[in-house]
Chain A
């Protein structure tokens, strides 16, 4: 290699390295203030736009620390957190979906918050118990929920007018729903399910949207007097008790005998648009998260209202509820400041002012939850959301292998609903597949 060539190669490398340094410095990184807290959230773009100014205000009001905001798209938290844990590079504070946190809590990834809750006099009774329950383990609280989303019952006013039925109200039970669903279901010739000549293959409008499609809909089993969880964390499950068989029989019957429910095996839960049969006016009623109000109002395709979760056989209103909350990483070097940040983020005033718009979750504190009520937009009966918050229950099981159990049983639920598998046979197989998958979590 000649001398000049060497110089030139050297220069080229220097330029490249220089360019890299410039890029590295240009990329915003954690500020070097005395205490810099890393806060990781998984908010939608819409939520983030509400959250960032509010967080900035908290940041400005506290001279002791600054917050570096880190974001990860919802649904991708698991890959981010797993790599962070593997690389020992966790942020100080994480806002995570309740369904995913138990596996990491059980592996000691987070700080036990009980002593801090006690010394801060945080009013835990103000938090709805079920969202909080998703952050409990071994008699301690490991995370503080900020938002939750319960399911409520949506109904299409035009569909009820077409069928000449009274509109649903807060007193409706599952049996009321079933009776109406049959009357609301019509085929292309205008016939109802029990009319002669009714054609289930050409249904124009279904009375109800959905059936039981996976075990996280335990609330709907409970509403019929069943219970899938055998132990508190639901790592042991039962599908075949008499009460559970009756509950499944009721729901499968609604789909297969009455033809009154659209069985959409993955009705938006894994793919596509939640509630779109309702959005398209093809389903007269359905249970869906309160966030769907945002989408329904934007689309403006149906005139609708809501009622609280339907009343089950024991008089309660079980309904599925999802939640998000804040946790402190066990590796945080600033747990005190992290806790101060969490206190500010779950403050009732902060929750009420920052959240509570259509499409957002509901504050997980009773004193802030009513901020979701806003008479300026549909639906009318928004109190139903607060009723649902009181009775909603979070998804169980939520341990490390819950997703494996979900994967191992999904197909069996589908084949039971379509009639390909006889019901008891399907339930027996679901039970054994779920318990096999959850076995590792039981021993922990």
Chain B
């Protein structure tokens, strides 16, 4: 099956059911609403001045909308610097993950080799390892390297690819006709050349999906920065957000406003890449 038709199947539902009565649209709206409502509530809550934020029973609309909470967190946290830090970590992580995962996934998909089945099973097996369990041994490693306090422990591991994204790329490349790569190699191309000149140009949606997921994962990462970053000037948004509250002091109106600010970049990235993302993710599921 060609990539083009997979994509069409995923994005534009061509099938026209027998019923086009509005009930279906109404039903879909009702079903879809719960997915959007929390975001709407987040925006409305963030714009409520404190007395309305703590109104009981709660009110729906801020009246009038106020930027007081947003102002308060912008005064409490140096948001531009946090965004710059997080952007740096997330961008480098994304580039490294995409490149390394694509190459490894390509090799698994297109080059038959002794041991590849076993290694692929190991790859899938690593997905089962609870990563929180490896925090201490990994910390000791990075500490011995003298990397703690810098961004290196957050970025360098992405050079080695990520099991799930390697899997995703493998699925993608396997869904492409094998003769594409075979003929490239018959023309004298090395597998690396076949990857660069034939594989990569056809991997757009998979690249987009992995890029978006790894960017947002790095943007949202909490445990990594918590363990490895020291100076508050180097913090990423998730860890900084956790400093808004103390064990005994809590100000949810600040946290809600910050949650809104922090969600903006991932949401923007999502909408920019959405079409490719759907195709890339959709391709992971059914090919053995």
Contacts and interface: CB of A to CB of B under 8 A. Distances in A.
Interface of A: 1-2, 5, 16, 19-20, 23-24, 27-30, 38, 40, 43-49, 68-76, 79-80, 82-83, 86-89, 97, 149, 268, 272-274, 276, 279-282, 289, 291, 294-295, 298-301, 322, 359
Contact of A71 (B135, B139, B155, B231): B231
Given A45-B244, A87-B148, A5 B249 contact: no
Contacts of A301: 50-51, 54-55
5 closest A-B pairs by beta carbon, nearest first, are A73-B242, A87-B143, A70-B230, A280-B56, A27-B150
A268 B143 CA distance: 36
B196 to A, nearest CB: 10
A5 B56 contact: no
B245 interface: yes
A49 B72 CA distance: 13
Interface in B145-201: 147-152, 155-156, 159, 190, 192
Contacts of B206: none
A149 B155 contact: no
A74 B92 contact: no
Contacts of A1: 190
Q: Which of B50, B96, B234, B246 counts the most A-chain CB atoms under 10 A from its CB?
A: B246
Most chain B CB inside 10 Å of its own CB: which residue of A82, A89, A97: A89
B251 interface: yes
Nearest to A41: B232
A274 B249 CA distance: 8
A28 B135 CA distance: 23
Contacts of A149: 248
Q: What is the interface of chain A mostly: helix, strand, loop, or mixed?
A: mixed
B247 interface: yes
Considering residues A76, A82, A88, A268, which has the most beta carbons from chain B within 10 angstroms of its beta carbon? A76
B53 A23 contact: no
13 contacts: A20-B152, A20-B156, A23-B88, A27-B234, A43-B246, A45-B77, A71-B230, A73-B226, A76-B242, A273-B250, A279-B54, A298-B253, A301-B55
A23 B243 contact: no
B2 to A, nearest CB: 30
B244 A44 contact: yes
Given A71-B235, A149-B248, 17 more contacts: A5-B192, A20-B156, A23-B88, A23-B152, A27-B150, A44-B249, A68-B230, A72-B226, A74-B245, A76-B226, A79-B223, A83-B135, A273-B250, A279-B54, A282-B56, A298-B50, A322-B248
B252 interface: yes
A298 B257 CA distance: 15
B71 interface: no
Nearest to A29: B149
A408 B131 CA distance: 26
A276 B232 CA distance: 30
B136 interface: yes
A28 B155 contact: no
B109 interface: no
A30 B149 contact: yes
A48 B243 contact: yes
Contacts of A71: 230-232, 235, 243
Interface in B245-274: 245-253
Given A46-B76, A75-B247, A86 B139 contact: yes
Nearest to B150: A27
A19 to B, nearest CB: 7
B151 A23 contact: yes
Interface string B117-132: 0000000000000000
